[in-house]
Chains A and B, each alone.
Chain A
Amino acid sequence: MIAALVLLTVAQAEMGETPSSRATVELRPTFEPPLSLAELRGPLTLSGAANYEETLSYDLEALLEPDSATVRGRGVVRWTNRGRVPVRELWWHLYLNAFRNERSTFMIESKGMTRRGVRFDPRAPGSVEVTALSARLVDGASAAKLDLTNGFDLLPARTFEAPDDGNDEDRTVMKTPLPFSVAPGQAVDVSMSFVSKLPKLFARAGYVGDFYMVAQWFPKLGVLDVADASGSPRMTDGPAVSAAGPLTEGLEPRWNCHQYHANSEFFSDYGHYRVAITVPDDYQVGATGARIAVREHSDGMVTYVHEQARVHDFAWVADRRCLAIDDDFDPTRDVDATKRAHVAQVLGLSPEDLGLSPVKIKLLIQPEHRAYADRYLDAARAAIQWFGLWYGAYPYPTLTIVDGPSAARAAMGMEYPTLITGGVTWPALPGVGQPESVTVHEFGHQYWYGLVGSNEFEEPWLDEGFTTFSTAKVLAETYGAFAWVPKIGGVPLEPWFGGLRLSEEDKFRVMALWAPDTDAVLRPAWLYRDARSYTANVYFRAALVLSELERVLGDDVFARAMRLYHLRWRYRHPSTHDFQHALEEVSGQSLDAFFANAVRSPGFVDYAIDDLTTRRRATRPPAASSFSSSSSSSSSSRVSLFDTSFVIERRGNIAQAVSVDVAFEDGSRQSVTWDGRYRWHRVTLTSSSAATSARMAEASLSKLDVRRVNDGQTTEREWRAGAAVGTHVLAVLQVFASLIGVLF
């Protein structure tokens, strides 16, 4: 159990910390886990539905006016106070206001340019204007009903808040004081009307041509941090941030309602959505949830009614140009029995425990991308199967995949409940990872963000890192490594350089190297040093952290813990601590030190082998015959001894115990261990054969090690590497000189 030893001794060397000292760290209060290890088999087979407690219901109507890129909306939202204290204010996300001008927090952070280099067009801004907002307490069990005249008008007292950065120009968060208290368990109906002006697409939501990506389009309530049994508010695990709303003595209600940031936009409560979308009848519409009704109007308009429970957002798309392809995921046809048996074995379940549900898949695809339809659909089916078997069945009856036009690339690669946007750039040859990669990734968000509603603002790695990690699993199992294809002018050089293939894990490592120790994996999304550090840490180093956990805990333990965490926190808002708790529960190990070093603080692992030498010592006769041997005895009767020496260096700031395998000329091997805490450790060995190499043992090869090249050393120099590099450089510079000859 070297892996377990390694894990248990992970500690920060500078602090001289040990696992036992780490174990004294006081943890924040948390819910009592509703599922226990003793009943592990049970929890691993549940759907997670028992977790659900409806907080919200939205009943909205939306009218798209294409000429002005405007959505006129109205409706009623019912919010139930699930906390333990009365609430006297509501906090709202008004995220389209991020595009009002160039002074919003989103614009400042993104510098007006996000999502594949598309720039904000100030001539086509976006906004959401709330034109009426009226509240009344729910009396009994009456159904929510739009009523803008009889309630209390909330607009006169509304204010715009900037809890994260104090930016007065930011209007993405609105606070509306209530003229009454909403007691615990009591509900309030808020009727509203609003006008959402869509910006020209440059970041996620907006329009281009006849394509409308309608996301973050309605006033959406924030999340009330409900109190646990002790009365303390539940908070996420991230470092202290200037969260929204007052928080005093743990009894004041606190709204978790962040401003719209360049790096994050999702955190809201689960609820029931029913939305009637009216568009010109020549538009295709895709939306969250199942379509339950279609009403055609005499004026050339048509209304599509969509409904979905247990989701935390609602987005839709309207496009006049796209094709609609209906397909499905049929478990009886699409689930591989061998895979199911394997997953069941790893999870300690029976294959019957892993039943999946049918899913209707709608693909809205651009005509020129028609050839990629099967690739989209196959990727979606592979993802539904993989995620369903490992983490639990996809519970929704629909999945809509949107392939936008070239000019809408800023809206592609996005996730919304039961609706994802893909994206493919012509020509995408087989073996190149699009549209497969983006489809699987965005579907993965249905699990890590959709079903498990972690806070993307405060702990973005819980959705992006988990999704990146899971996506890699699906892609590796379904497709193997994709070709890494350089492009010239957008034209891929495949097949000439198609031999250059990168596994997903290799991709993690390469990408994580861009910022190996700039920021921690766990950090509020808007506080990363820059976009590069955010991407490197939240997506790729986070995925490496999960790979490392899988390595040290073992495949089966890790898989069970992931499933437990997922099912336990479906339809709820877990934190990093909750994830750690699930891992510890299943593995029976304390992971405080691991999380402190690899998740909560910047740092990297790097152990190196250096100064390897092996020298023949002065010979001596064999012990058994030494008395009778003379000094002139033949060399065959003498035993050669070799002194081997090398240094193990810790060059990273994350310490762990390491094992080094030393190989000898006679084929024998010897293992050396070191606690890994000090900066270096010299090893000397005496053996009957010369050493040939010393390398980190397989069990010590951390996925977080940033330098594999120094993980082992040989006694003999390998000339071919330098010679190969030298001749390659020679050739490249000769080509360079030839090209210069064209100009000069």
Chain B
Amino acid sequence: MGPSAAESLAAGLGWTLSSPGPAIWVVVVQAILVLPWAFGAGWLADDLFGRSVEAARFARSIDVVLVAELFKTQALGFHTWLVTLAGAGLVFVATSTFLTGGLIATAGAPRPSARFFFAEGGRALPRLLRLLGLSIPFFGLVVMLPGVVILRAADSWAEDALSDGVGMALRVSSVLLVATIAALTLAAIDAMKIQRVRKPDVRLWRVFRHGLAFAWTSPIRTLVLYLPYPCLLLGLVVAWAWVDVRIGRSGWALWALGLAWQQLGAVVRGLLRSAWVASLVFHGWPEGHGHEATLDTEAANMKSET
């Protein structure tokens, strides 16, 4: 009998705190990835209003009116940003898949090296991308399509509700229902990812079947294991944003403080992600905790070299 969900979560958190390296590498890679966009935006802002008498206001805090002016009158149209973000999104997806491969491969390894992390991420990438080709349509079919139907139906019923309470209850219930379906489906897909990395020889369709069995045979257990991370992540983002919007950028010191706070938030999110992936790995492969029996030979050799 495998560990309970709570034991797996605790084990994942413990491993991450004792081996924070993978989490840090995730943060560093993500930062490098987004830096060009950040520099570009900063440069654009500087070009547009660096010499404006209103520039100091921009620096102090978000000025909704000036932002609206820029978007509506400076050809910074919403669609331009949408296309830019969509392009960025594709790069982010590929990178995230790579990082996930690295995290799954190193989960449970004592003091995993950077070389091992990146090598395993690279090795797992083609397999995970092939899985992506299957999991994205699967997610669309199982979550997106019913999700739209459920949310629209609930919205329609809520519109006819005579009291706010009933309407709100309908909307919240529909969101929770869709979130539950999404969580179970994502858990299944994550189980597939873990098997895809940890058992590279298993065929895709068997991986797929394994993932479904993992997530859906015991949905309560899966949710207990799976939901803490996204809930914590969202809470963390809101808390981080609450503080961030209150840090003015009127001087070097405050600007540096704001930057440090942003990066601290990124590191905590990275640790959280690492802990979560490790929890899932330990739950599926309890024997992998502390020894690499399930890793393929090449990866194990590489790890032993380090």
Give A residues with C-beta under 8 Å from B.
Answer: 118, 208-211, 321, 366-369, 405-407, 409, 425-426, 484, 489-490, 493, 496-497, 499-500, 502, 506, 509-510, 513-514, 516, 606, 612, 693, 695, 706-731, 733-744
Contacts and interface: CB of A to CB of B under 8 A. Distances in A.
A724 B251 CA distance: 10
A708 B163 contact: no
Contacts of A708: 54, 65-66, 69
B51 A713 contact: yes
A406 B163 contact: yes
B37 interface: yes
B53 A711 contact: yes
Contacts of B73: 513, 516, 606, 706-707
Contact of B266 (A369, A407, A722, A738): A738
Nearest to A604: B73
19 contacts: A118-B159, A208-B162, A209-B160, A693-B53, A708-B54, A711-B53, A713-B51, A720-B55, A720-B56, A720-B250, A721-B50, A726-B41, A730-B31, A730-B37, A731-B244, A733-B37, A734-B265, A735-B269, A736-B85
Contacts of A737: 30, 33-34, 92, 95-96
Given A730-B35, A731-B265, A736-B92, A502 B165 contact: no
B262 A731 contact: yes
B51 A714 contact: yes
Given A426-B168, A726-B39, A740 B96 contact: yes
B162 A426 contact: no
Interface in B145-183: 158-168, 171-172, 175
B128 to A, nearest CB: 9
B167 A499 contact: no
Given A727-B259, A730-B38, A709 B92 contact: no
Contacts of B286: none
A695 B55 CA distance: 13
Interface of B: 26, 30-31, 33-35, 37-39, 41-56, 58-59, 62, 64-66, 68-70, 72-73, 85, 88-89, 92-93, 95-97, 99-100, 132, 158-168, 171-172, 175, 186, 229-230, 233, 237-238, 240-242, 244-246, 249-251, 255, 258-259, 262, 265-266, 269-270, 273
A101 B159 CA distance: 22
Contacts of B159: 118, 406-407, 409
Contacts of B30: 734, 737-738
B42 A723 contact: yes
Residue among A321, A509, A734, A742 having the largest count of chain B Cβ atoms under 10 Å: A734
B56 A722 contact: no
Contacts of A740: 89, 92-93, 96
Given A720-B255, A740-B92, A709 B66 contact: yes
B51 A209 contact: no
Contacts of A744: 93, 96-97, 100, 132
Contacts of B55: 714, 718, 720-721
Contact of B100 (A211, A409, A741): A741
CB-CB nearest 9 A-B residue pairs: A726-B42, A722-B46, A712-B53, A720-B59, A730-B38, A718-B55, A725-B45, A733-B34, A426-B164
Given A727-B255, A737-B96, A406 B162 contact: yes
Nearest to A743: B186
A715 to B, nearest CB: 8
A717 B52 CA distance: 8
Given A708-B54, A734-B30, A738-B30, 9 more contacts: A366-B164, A426-B168, A496-B241, A500-B62, A718-B59, A729-B42, A735-B265, A738-B237, A738-B273
Nearest to B262: A731
A341 B244 CA distance: 45
Contacts of B168: 426, 490
Contact of A499 (B49, B100, B245, B266): B245
A516 B72 contact: yes
Contact of B50 (A719, A733, A739, A742): A719
Contacts of B88: 733, 736
A366 B163 contact: yes
A510 B52 CA distance: 19
Contacts of B171: 489-490
Contacts of A500: 62, 64, 245
B38 A723 contact: no
B52 A713 contact: yes
